[in-house]
């Protein structure tokens, strides 16, 4: 193992290592971050949710948006899979249906960055126990 | 010197920085009671664990009370030594200590000399609240040949520990257990005899209570005196006469040789002899051995080891048998004066009386507790009959004199009996550190050079410094002398010898600080080291007053060699007056 | 996704090791072993409901997880995204599941500084510590500041020693730094001795690097190149993690010669203690490390002048050290903005006793006892009434209802007759007898006294005996009087902190619960029904049907009576074991 030779080295190391525990840091601060849940039940995965999720994670990172992307179970909107729920800090969660990579790109650029709504919003009809 | 100003009991005082409150108060004449604290200033021994908490005082601005023995004075300090808060605390703490202390004062060997008793009296303790349901910490009583440990009476002052570890570096005693069952004991609470204890008795000398006392042989001595079939001889060591008077209220340093001889005769000893005689005999043997080794060494005999070490101190013998048993050929093979006396008494003198050795009882009065152990060693017995039957301490002799209702102070001086009671000044100074080697030099010089000494007093060998050295000119031959007293100092010197760093020809070692005058069997000094200095002065005064001051000039010693021994280191002398040493390793630690 | 499994000693004792294994194999079975990480962390503090599994990033907090729950967690939560409701924490007040730990009462009022990494990083992986800004504080100190500037930050932050004394840490460092010597030592006191307190162990188990880093910073400040951690041998896991951490730090060159390319060199060794309470006192600790009997000596000289092997030595405890790196990085002003005027920052407490949420908490100084006990602690168990809280370990005092709204800090607790100590907090309810409580603590101090000074060695024993007498119903008014005098004298005269504080439980219960003492002495009654000697089992002849169940089950044949007629208990024979009460189906037996 190589020795850390200076404070600058140490800081560089930190940058690299930080991503490994990023998910936990964000967990602690999730309230102030963009939270995206991708429905990944059988129906979602069959409709391509996994690809969307990977796309979202990569793109958000590339575009420098601090966001937590997690998988979740079936939201019940099987007709509109893949579905994702996006919660901006301080706002009510919004659910988008028929999300493919292009739609995902739209959601990032328009909704997440600028708060503009895009097509395909599904009105929520339940409260999760998380929000109690 | 940097000083600090403070107020004690409304009086201002300026003291050197680093002075404790206790000492500052003392200089104002304010006597704060202390129990665990002990300061043997001249021996550089200070014991202040601050454990007993009797000496607490009130310091303005401090949350709790301060132990005056170990709290340094600070600028602007305002100290009150006897407020109601202080007195109540002191009394309560004293009640606590007494609540865990046996109440058998009537039969306690320390009764009348007990510092705990003194403070209880001073504080006026009349009852111990809650005693009826107070548990006492009790331990096994430990009987060794010299010392009895009755640590139910231990108050954890740690003085014995300081002496045993810091001063003597013997390491036999230390605190064991914790909390209520804490006590000072050998490791694993094994018996003292199985520990590295040398029986020097310094622990006994400083114990404020009856936790550490000597094995008392006075009852056995009385039994022997009352047996008409026995002839009872007594010998008294040089240091006894310099201290015995203290037990009868005489000033420390009062020499009581004549009164002591008279008292011993009154008690009923058949012959009142002097160990000083045997001290002269020791010089003859040891001095000859020194010259013999020296001559062979100078002639290039590689098998000779120098320096020669004195061997008259039994605690020192125990110490090197345990700690330096790779060097058992270094000490002189001469027996100690006590044992030389016993050997001569039960051979030469028994023949003179026409009695068998078991018809004689030899009692020694010693300033020492290790002598009790020494006279019980197997090599000093013939057919299970010891050369010296009983060894009693100076304190025990005082008890004997008192129990025989003798008005000691008013006794007229008497002389010792002949032949074993005649001694020279050289024999007397055995009692002080440096004395044995000075006595040896007085004789060896004249024997070696064939010339009379220009002056008898070798003041360069005297004093209280722990380790001293001097070079004596033996008519062109420089003889390097080393002296150590206290086993801790002895260890330093011996380590140098073992490492080949010291180039001494002869070394005198005494186990007790000050030499025999500071022995474990002497009247208790209760922490006042000026007493030891006064005894030392008495020894040298007695020497100066003697007409004969060199051992080889003692007429009865000459007679002994002529009639019986032949010459020093003869075969007969070797048989009777010399001994050998044993390896005492790690004794079985796990019981 | 990360699954954090608590690896503190408590949770490990409840087989959290097996949980990790089960989770890993379940993930593998679902082909998710590369997507989901399972990490064993340090203590989460919520020991009452351990073992804990936390799912990140959604902050799901599973409690009392068993190895066999792993399959369900993976299948439901990881694969399907459905939280396993039955494993979620239930808020006892609202009887609702709480899924996100941020919303749990237990965590809501906490500010975690010393425990910042506990339950968050893998303590055996230095990379995770570095990822959390680890070792940047020592880097900043040696690269950008001189020792005095570093000391000034600690001084300004107002950090005080967390071991109990509350001595200002920066000042302590400054004194040690000013004493000149060829060798100095930094000692970390990890001899956590208060029964029930385990914050130091948790920090060492959960975040050992923070202590290592802080010791280096201290070494830099005072001019020491050697650090020693005095840790009790009963802490095997903490020792293991500390050793791993020291090795890793050495490999990275964060311990050893020329740290981060500077002139500063520092290394750390461990010293093991045998578990004597008094060895938490710094002079006793130093003697123990030197191989001497573990007992305190009079101060001055302070360790800063003459400590380990006679050299200037700075001793701080684990929690104090754990605060240091953050203070250096975030600044003195940030730290001193937390807490009260004279007690800055946070304090970790070990909550125990009759409280719902037993565990380890870190709260800002100045929080009230009420908030700690009723909000974080979730109130008293089984809906009983709060009676007292004992703070400061065995030699702290018992505080009552009237102290509940006192802001907790060093000075307020002392003013109330207790102390901060190392942060033990034991809650008592209406069923606790306060005389028995005082006796319980005295039993501990009697056992742990080193025996050096007479007031502590003998005095505490006598206090204990007197309390014993009172709980047996044999006490007198003189005994109460003596208890008070003896307690005051012991406080006034004992040599070290142990003895000076050991009578606190007696004095504070005498002050706050004198009526309970009087009931024992005058009425020969124990109001809480705890003191066996003062209890009597009585059969109500009206309710007894003579079924003989009690008589048949009495182990000492103290119960007699004819069939179908009321029975009687011979109180002279009865040993008050309670077997009869359990067997009686008619509630005919009561304790009076």
* Cβ-defined contact of B92 to C447 (cutoff 8 Å): no
Q: Which among C4, C58, C81 has the least Cβ separation from residue A73?
A: C81
Is the distance from CB of C449 to CB of C457 less than 8 angstroms?
Answer: yes
Task: Please say whether the beta carbons of C395 and C504 come within 8 A.
Answer: yes
Mean pLDDT, residues A93-119 taken together = 83
Rounded distance, CA B371 to CA B146, Å? 8
Determine the distance in angstroms separating the CA of A116 from the nearest CA of chain C, rounded to an integer: 26
Q: What is the DSSP letter of B216?
A: P
Q: What are phi and psi of A48, to 5 degrees?
A: 100, 20
Q: What is the CATH number of domain C2-107?
A: 3.40.30.10
B131 touches chain C (CB under 8 A): no
Helix and strand numbers (H, E) in chain B are 19, 22
C540 touches B at CB < 8 Å: no
Mean pLDDT throughout C72-84? 83
| CB-CB under 8 Å, A68 with C57 | yes
pLDDT, mean of residues C422-427: 90
Say if residues C491 and B65 touch (Cβ distance below 8 Å): no
Which residues, 6 or more positions from B520, have their beta carbon under 8 angstroms from its beta carbon? B199, B200, B201, B202, B203, B204, B205, B214, B367, B368, B369, B370, B393, B512
Closest by Cβ to C452, choosing from B51, B92, B99: B51
Neighbours of C381 (CB within 10 A): 17
Let me know if chains B and A touch, i.e. at least 3 Cβ pairs under 8 angstroms.
no
Q: A12 — contact with chain C (CB < 8 Å)?
A: no
Which residues numbered 427-446 in C keep a CB inside 8 Å of some CB on B? Answer: 446
Indicate which of A5, A15, A17 best probes the interface with C, i.e. most C CBs within 10 Å of its own CB.
A17
List the end-to-end C-alpha distance of chain A, in Å, as a whole number.
48
End-to-end CA distance of chain B: 54
Distance from CA of C127 to the nearest CA of A (A): 6
The CATH homologous superfamily of the domain defined by C126-335: NADH-ubiquinone oxidoreductase 51kDa subunit (3.40.50.11540)
List active site positions of B: 286, 289, 312, 332, 371, 374, 379, 516
The architecture (CATH level 2) of C536-591 comes to 2-Layer Sandwich (3.30)
CB B361 within 8 Å of CB B230: yes
pLDDT tops 50 at residue C471: yes
Beta bridge partners, C300, equal: none
DSSP letters spanning B233-297: EEEE-TTTTTTGGGGGTPPTT---HHHHHHHHHHHT-SEEEEHHHHHHHHHHHHHHHHHHHHHHH
Q: Which of B257-266, C13-22, C340-349, C361-370 has the lowest mean pLDDT?
A: C13-22
pLDDT bracket for residue A130 (50, 70, 90): very low
State mean pLDDT over C382-398: 90
Q: Is residue B149 a contact partner of residue B192, using CB atoms and an 8 Å limit?
A: yes
- Give which of B508, B470, B462, B517 is closest to B489, Cα–Cα: B508
Domain boundaries, chain C: 2-107, 126-335, 346-429, 434-522, 536-591
CB contact under 8 A, A72 and C81: yes
Residue A27 confidence (pLDDT)? 64
Cα angle: C77, vertex C80, C82; to 5 degrees: 50
The residue length of chain A stands at: 132
Q: Is the peptide bond before B419 cis (omega within 30 degrees of 0)?
A: yes
| H helical segments located in C100-235 | 105-108, 126-131, 136-144, 147-157, 169-178, 199-206, 208-222
- Virtual CA dihedral for B551, B553, B558, B559, nearest 10 degrees? -110
Chain B neighbours, 3+ Cβ pairs < 8 A: C
Mean pLDDT of C123-137: 93
Burial code of C20-58, b = ≥16 C-beta within 10 A, e = fewer?
bebbbebbeeeeeeeebbbbbbbbbbbbbbbbbbbbbbb
Q: Give the three-class secondary structure for C398.
A: strand
Indicate yes or no: CB of C57 within 8 angstroms of CB of A39: no
Task: Please name the residue of chain B whose CA is at the shortest distance from the CA of residue C464.
Answer: B134
Is B67–C458 a contact, with Cβ atoms under 8 angstroms apart?
Answer: no
Closest approach of C504 to chain B, Cα-based (Å): 14
Contact present, B5 and B14 (Cβ < 8 Å)? yes
Ordered per-residue pLDDT tens for chain B, 591 residues: 899 999 999 999 999 999 999 999 999 999 999 999 998 887 777 899 999 999 999 999 999 999 999 999 999 999 999 999 999 999 999 999 999 999 999 999 999 999 999 999 999 999 999 899 999 999 999 999 999 999 999 999 999 999 999 999 999 999 999 999 999 999 989 999 999 999 999 999 999 999 999 999 999 999 999 999 999 999 999 999 999 999 999 999 999 999 999 999 999 999 999 999 999 999 999 999 999 999 998 898 888 888 999 999 999 999 999 999 888 989 999 999 999 999 999 999 999 999 999 999 999 999 999 999 999 999 999 999 999 999 999 999 999 999 999 999 999 999 999 999 999 999 999 999 999 999 999 999 999 888 899 889 999 999 999 999 999 998 888 999 999 999 999 999 999 989 988 889 999 999 999 999 999 999 998 878 889 999 999 999 999 999 999 999 999 999 999 999 999 999 999 999 999 999 886 544 443
Per-residue pLDDT, A76: 63
Region at B583 (left for phi over 0; alpha for psi -120 to 50; beta for the rest): beta
Inter-chain touch C85–A129, beta carbons under 8 Å: yes
Residue B217 sits at the vertex; the CA angle it makes with B213 and B219, to the nearest 5 degrees, is 120
Residues 86-125 of A with CB under 8 A from C: none
Mean pLDDT score, C400-416: 92
The residue count of chain C comes to: 592
Name which of C194, C198, C272, C262 is nearest C228 in CA terms: C272
Q: What is the DSSP string of C68-136?
A: GGHHHIIIIIIIT----GGGBEEETTTTEEE-BGGGSHHHHT---STTTTTTTS-TT-HHHHHHTTTTH
Task: Residue B53: list chain C partners with CB under 8 A.
Answer: 453-455, 493-495
User: A126 — contact with chain C (CB < 8 Å)?
Assistant: no
From residue B315, alpha-carbon distances to B9, B170, B218 in Å are 46, 10, 22
The predicted structure's pLDDT at residue A28: 63
CA angle B237, B238, B240 (to 5 degrees): 70
ipTM of the complex: 0.91
Specify the pairing of strand B390-393 against strand B183-185.
unpaired
Domain C434-522: CATH architecture, name and number where available: Up-down Bundle (1.20)
Round to whole Å and give the CA distance between C58 and C90. 17
Tens of pLDDT, residues C473-486: 999 999 999 999 99
Q: pLDDT tens, B174-224?
A: 999 999 999 999 998 999 999 999 999 999 999 999 999 999 999 999 999
Per-residue pLDDT band for C393 (boundaries 50, 70, 90) equals confident
Q: Kindly state the percentage of chain B with pLDDT values over 90.
A: 87
Q: Is C160 helix (H, G, I), strand (E, B) or coil?
A: strand
Q: Where are the beta strands (DSSP E) in B286-409?
A: 308-309, 360-366, 381-382, 385-386, 390-393
d(CA C440, CA C423): 18
Q: At residue B323, what are phi and psi to the nearest 5 degrees?
A: -100, -20
Provide mean pLDDT across the span C425-448. 94
> Does the domain made of C346-429 have the CATH classification 3.10.20.600?
yes
- C-alpha closest to that of B81 among B133, B27, B30, B20: B30
d(CA B172, CA B185): 8
In sequence order, the 6+-apart residues with CB closer than 8 A to the CB of C342 are: C158, C409, C410, C411
- Evaluate the omega torsion of the peptide bond into residue B307 and state whether it is cis, within 30 degrees of 0: yes
Stretch C543-557: mean pLDDT: 91
Question: How far is it, in rounded angstroms, from Cα B36 to Cα B48?
Answer: 7
Query: B207 with B35: CB under 8 angstroms?
Result: no
| Residues of C whose CB is below 8 A from B134 | 461-462, 465
Backbone angles phi, psi at B386, to 5 degrees: -75, 150
Could you give the domains of chain A?
33-124 (3.40.30.10)
B65 touches C: beta carbon within 8 Å: yes
What's the token pair of residue A74?
């079936």
The rounded distance, in Å, linking the Cα atoms of C60 and C101 is 6
Nearest CA to B50 among C523, C291, C300, C388? C300
Q: Are strands C424-429 and C346-353 parallel, antiparallel or unpaired?
A: parallel
What chain C residue is nearest to A54 in terms of C-alpha separation?
C35
d(Cα C47, Cα C64) in Å, to the nearest integer?
9
- When the pLDDT of each residue in chain C is averaged and rounded to a whole number, the result is 91
pLDDT in the model for residue B77: 96
The domains of chain B, with CATH numbers, are 3-82 (3.10.20.740), 98-215 (3.30.70.20), 219-577 (3.40.50.1780)
- Interface A:C, Cβ pairs < 8 A: 102
Q: Which of A14, A71, A132 sits opposite C81 (nearest CB)?
A: A71
Q: Is any Cβ of chain C less than 8 angstroms from the Cβ of B242?
A: no
CA distance C299 to chain B (A): 9
Distance, in Å, from the CA atom of A73 to the CA atom of A67, rounded to the nearest integer, reads 19
Pairing of strands B477-485, B467-474: antiparallel
- How far apart (Å, rounded) are the C-alpha atoms in residues B153 and B172? 18
| Separation in Å, CA of B518 to nearest CA in chain C | 28
Interface residue C572 vs chain B (CB under 8 A): no
Bridge partners of residue B149, in order along the sequence: B142, B212
pLDDT confidence bin for C360, thresholds 50/70/90: confident
**Which pair of tokens denotes residue C448?**
């742990």
Model pLDDT, residue B34: 96
Q: Give pLDDT, residue C1.
A: 80
């Amino acid at each position: 193992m190589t020795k850390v030779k200076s404070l600058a080295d140490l800081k560089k190391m930190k940058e690299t290592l930080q991503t490994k525990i990023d998910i936990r840091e964000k967990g602690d601060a999730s309230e102030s971050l963009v939270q995206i849940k991708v429905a990944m039940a059988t129906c979602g995965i069959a409709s391509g949710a996994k690809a969307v999720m990977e796309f979202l994670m990569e793109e958000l990172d590339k575009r420098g948006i601090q966001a937590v992307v997690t998988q979740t179970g079936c939201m019940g909107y099987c007709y509109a899979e893949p579905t994702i729920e996006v919660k901006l800090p301080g706002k009510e969660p919004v659910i988008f249906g028929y999300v493919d990579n292009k739609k995902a790109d739209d959601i990032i650029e328009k909704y997440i960055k600028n708060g503009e709504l895009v097509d395909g919003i599904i009105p929520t009809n339940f409260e999760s126990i998380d929000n109690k | 010197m940097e000083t600090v100003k403070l107020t004690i009991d409304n009086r201002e005082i300026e003291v050197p920085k680093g002075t404790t409150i206790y000492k500052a108060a003392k200089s104002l004449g304010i006597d704060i009671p202390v129990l665990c604290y002990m300061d043997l200033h001249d021996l550089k021994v200070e014991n202040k664990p601050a454990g007993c908490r009797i000496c607490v005082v009130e310091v303005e601005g401090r949350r709790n009370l301060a132990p005056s023995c170990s709290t340094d004075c600070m600028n602007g300090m305002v100290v009150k030594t006897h407020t109601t808060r202080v007195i109540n605390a002191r009394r309560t703490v004293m009640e606590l200590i007494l609540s865990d202390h046996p109440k058998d004062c009537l039969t306690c060997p320390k009764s009348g000399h007990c510092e705990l008793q003194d403070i209880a009296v001073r504080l006026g303790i009349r009852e111990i609240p809650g005693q009826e349901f107070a548990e006492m910490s009790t331990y096994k009583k430990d009987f060794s040949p010299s010392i009895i440990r009755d640590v139910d009476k231990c108050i954890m002052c740690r003085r014995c520990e300081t002496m045993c570890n810091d001063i003597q570096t013997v390491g036999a005693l230390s605190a064991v257990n914790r909390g209520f069952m804490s006590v000072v004991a050998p490791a694993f609470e094994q018996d003292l005899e199985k520990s590295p204890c040398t029986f020097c008795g310094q622990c006994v000398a400083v114990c404020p209570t009856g936790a550490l006392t000597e094995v008392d042989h006075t009852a056995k001595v009385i039994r022997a005196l009352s047996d008409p079939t026995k002839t009872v001889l007594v010998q008294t060591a040089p240091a006894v006469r310099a201290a015995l008077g203290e037990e009868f209220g005489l000033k420390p340093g009062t020499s009581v040789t004549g009164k002591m001889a008279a008292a011993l005769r009154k008690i009923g000893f058949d012959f009142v002899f002097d160990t000083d005689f045997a001290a002269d005999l020791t010089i003859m043997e040891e001095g000859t051995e020194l010259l013999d080794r020296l001559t062979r060494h100078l002639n290039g005999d590689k098998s000779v080891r120098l320096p020669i070490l004195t061997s008259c101190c039994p605690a020192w013998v125990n110490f090197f048998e345990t700690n330096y048993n790779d060097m058992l050929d270094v000490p002189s093979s001469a027996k100690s004066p006590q044992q030389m006396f016993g050997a001569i008494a039960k051979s030469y003198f028994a023949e003179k009386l026409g009695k068998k050795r078991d018809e004689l009882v030899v009692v020694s009065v010693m300033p020492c507790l290790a002598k009790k152990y020494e006279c019980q060693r197997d090599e000093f017995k013939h057919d299970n009959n010891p050369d010296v039957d009983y060894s009693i301490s100076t304190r025990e002799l005082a008890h004997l004199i008192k129990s025989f209702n003798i008005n000691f102070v008013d006794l007229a001086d008497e002389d010792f009996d002949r032949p074993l009671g005649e001694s020279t000044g050289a024999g007397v100074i055995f009692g002080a550190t440096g004395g044995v080697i000075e006595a040896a030099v007085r004789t060896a010089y004249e024997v070696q050079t064939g010339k009379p000494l220009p002056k008898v007093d070798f003041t360069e060998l005297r004093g209280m410094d722990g380790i001293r050295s001097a070079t004596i000119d033996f008519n062109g031959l420089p003889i390097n002398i080393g002296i150590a007293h206290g086993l801790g100092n002895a260890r330093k010197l011996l380590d140098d010898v073992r490492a080949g760093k010291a180039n001494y020809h002869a070394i005198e070692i005494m186990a007790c600080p000050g030499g025999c005058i500071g022995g474990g069997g002497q009247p208790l000094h209760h922490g006042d080291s000026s007493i030891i200095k006064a005894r030392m002065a008495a020894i040298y005064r007695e020497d100066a007053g003697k007409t004969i001051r060199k051992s080889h000039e003692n007429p009865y010693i000459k007679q002994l060699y002529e009639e019986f021994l032949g010459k020093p280191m003869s075969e007969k002398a070797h048989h009777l007056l010399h001994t050998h040493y044993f390896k005492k390793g790690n004794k079985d630690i796990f019981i | 996704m990360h699954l954090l499994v608590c690896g503190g000693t408590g949770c490990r004792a409840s087989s959290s090791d097996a949980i990790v294994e089960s989770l890993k194999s379940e993930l593998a079975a679902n082909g998710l072993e590369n997507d989901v990480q399972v990490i064993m962390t340090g203590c989460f503090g919520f020991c009452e409901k351990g073992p804990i599994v936390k799912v990140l990033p959604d902050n799901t907090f599973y409690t009392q997880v068993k190895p066999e729950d792993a399959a369900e967690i993976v299948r439901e939560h990881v694969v399907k995204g459905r939280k396993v409701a039955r494993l979620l924490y239930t808020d006892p007040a609202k009887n609702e599941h709480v899924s996100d730990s941020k919303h749990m009462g237990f965590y809501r009022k906490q500010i975690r500084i010393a425990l910042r990494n506990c339950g968050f990083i893998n303590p055996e992986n230095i990379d995770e510590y570095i990822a959390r800004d680890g070792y940047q504080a020592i880097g900043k100190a040696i690269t950008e500041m001189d020792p005095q500037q570093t000391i000034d930050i600690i001084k300004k932050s107002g950090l005080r020693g967390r071991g109990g004394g509350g001595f200002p840490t920066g000042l302590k460092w400054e004194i040690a730094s000013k004493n000149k010597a060829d060798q100095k030592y930094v000692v970390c006191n990890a001899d956590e001795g208060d029964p029930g307190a385990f914050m130091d162990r948790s920090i060492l188990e959960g975040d050992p690097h923070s202590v290592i880093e802080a010791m280096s910073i201290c070494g830099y400040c005072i001019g020491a190149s050697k650090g020693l951690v005095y840790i009790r041998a009963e802490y095997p896991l903490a020792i293991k993690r500390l050793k791993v951490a020291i090795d890793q730090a050495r490999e990275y060159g964060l311990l050893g010669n020329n740290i981060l390319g500077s002139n500063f060199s520092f290394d750390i060794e461990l010293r093991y203690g045998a578990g004597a309470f008094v060895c938490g006192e710094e002079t006793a600790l130093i003697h123990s490390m030197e191989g001497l009997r573990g007992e305190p000596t009079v101060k001055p000289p302070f360790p800063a002048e003459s400590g380990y092997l006679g050299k200037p030595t700075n001793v701080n405890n684990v929690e104090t050290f754990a605060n240091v790196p953050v203070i250096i990085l975030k600044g003195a002003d940030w730290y001193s903005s937390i807490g009260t005027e004279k007690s800055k920052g946070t304090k970790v407490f070990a909550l125990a006793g009759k409280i719902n949420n037993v565990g380890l908490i870190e709260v800002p100084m100045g929080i009230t006892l009420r908030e700690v006990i009723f909000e974080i602690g979730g109130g008293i168990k089984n809906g009983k009434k709060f009676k007292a809280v004992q703070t400061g370990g065995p030699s702290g005092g018992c505080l009552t209802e009237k102290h509940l709204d006192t802001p907790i800090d060093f000075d307020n607790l002392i003013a109330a007759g207790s102390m901060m100590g190392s942060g033990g907090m034991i809650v008592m309810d209406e069923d606790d007898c306060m005389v028995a409580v005082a006796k319980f603590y005295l039993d501990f101090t009697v056992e742990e006294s080193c025996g050096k000074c007479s007031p502590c060695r003998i005095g505490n024993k006598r206090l204990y005996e007197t309390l014993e007498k009172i709980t047996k119903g044999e006490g007198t008014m003189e005994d109460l009087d003596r208890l008070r005098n003896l307690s005051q004298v012991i406080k006034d005269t004992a040599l070290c902190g142990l003895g000076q504080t050991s009578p606190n439980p007696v004095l504070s219960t005498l002050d706050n619960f004198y009526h309970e003492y009087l009931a024992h002495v005058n009425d020969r009654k124990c109001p809480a029904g705890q003191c066996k000697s003062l209890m009597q089992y009585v059969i109500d002849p009206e309710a007894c049907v003579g079924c003989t169940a009690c008589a048949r089950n009495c182990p000492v044949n103290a119960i007699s009576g004819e069939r179908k007629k009321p029975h009687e208990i011979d109180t002279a024979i009865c040993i008050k074991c309670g077997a009869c009460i359990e067997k009686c189906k008619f509630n005919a037996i009561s304790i009076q």
